[in-house]
Amino acid sequence: MNFDLDNMSLKELRDLHKAVGRQIDGFEARKREQAMMAAQKAAEEHGYSLKDLLGSGKAPKAAKATVAPKYVNPDDSSETWTGRGRQPRWVKGHLDAGGSVDDLLIK
């Protein structure tokens, strides 16, 4: 199949470009499907389904560990702080008043 690209119009070149792109995408999809079929057949020969071997395909998410509070607001015991991240306003207020962080430790 020979194309005289030098004598093609811009529209013809763009149409050819789109057609080639579609063919490439279709080729890759066909190859992927063939690979999936071969993998499924190999799994079945060993007594498994492909889904059994691959699972859901997603890695399990690590559970976030919760950190116990380390400090408590002496004026309102419902306000606590783990000591991580930004200091709450009540901690800053206590420090500005001349207090120590050790004063706020949960006993």
| Residue 90 pLDDT level (bands cut at 50, 70, 90) | very high
The average pLDDT across 43-62 equals: 80
Q: Is the pLDDT of residue 63 over 90?
A: no
Q: Give the DSSP H/E element, type plus range, for residue 81.
A: strand 80-81
The average pLDDT across 4-8 equals: 90
Q: Is the pLDDT of residue 36 over 80?
A: yes
Rg (CA), the chain: 33
Q: How far, rounded to the nearest angstrom, does the alpha carbon of residue 106 sit from its chain's CA centroid? A: 37
Q: Report if pTM > 0.95.
A: no
Distance, in Å, from the CA atom of 49 to the CA atom of 61, rounded to the nearest integer, reads: 24
The percentage of the chain sitting over the pLDDT mark of 70, rounded to a whole number, equals 95
Q: Which of 58, 39, 59 is nearest to 49 (CA)?
A: 39
Distance, in Å, from the CA atom of 49 to the CA atom of 23, rounded to the nearest integer, reads: 31
Q: Which two tokens stand for residue 36?
A: 């999936």
Which sequence spans correspond to the domains of the chain? 5-54, 71-104
Pairing of strands 71-72, 80-81: antiparallel
